[in-house]
Amino acid sequence: MPTYHNDPTLAVPVFPGSHIVLDDRHVFLSGLTVTDIQGGEAVLGDIAEETRWIMRRLAHMLEYVDATLADTLRVEVHLTNLDTIHTMDAAYAEFFDAQRYPARTCTESPRLSGGSNVEITLVARRRPEKESSGTES
């Protein structure tokens, strides 16, 4: 049975959804932009920094449910300008083992929430109970 959670360090979603949904095997994280993160407006327009801020927050959200970026199976990236993909890729790659990149889709979305230039969402596997410390809420 799925459970629905919000990251207590983020504002409550203004959309009808949850930050985090857990089922028996997976962690589903809603799309995140820097304007969802307090102070993120400071890096708007710097694709590499927007990507790093988002990836750090996604890592934090995964830790909240006892997972890590290493557990990531699939990522969706939305860019307002696909010409910035190489800059985004360089920052994104810093967060994964080069031999274990998750499956990924990257699309151009001309308008993202809050004027952000990057939005990232992901699906990760949940660790079996015996490996996990059970940090669910």
66: in domain: yes
Q: Long-range pairs for 40-45 at CB < 8 Å and ≥24 separation? A: 40/116, 41/114, 44/115, 44/116, 44/117, 45/117
12: in domain: yes
| pTM: predicted TM-score of the whole model, two decimal places | 0.89
137: in domain: no
106: in domain: yes
Domain boundaries, position 107: 3-125
68-91 confidence digits (pLDDT tens): 999 999 999 999 999 999 999 999
83-124 confidence digits (pLDDT tens): 999 999 999 999 999 999 999 999 999 999 889 999 999 999
Contact by Cβ (8 Å): 119, 33:
yes
Contact by Cβ (8 Å): 40, 53:
yes
CATH for 66: 3.30.1330.40
Contact by Cβ (8 Å): 116, 34:
yes
The total number of structural domains in the chain stands at 1
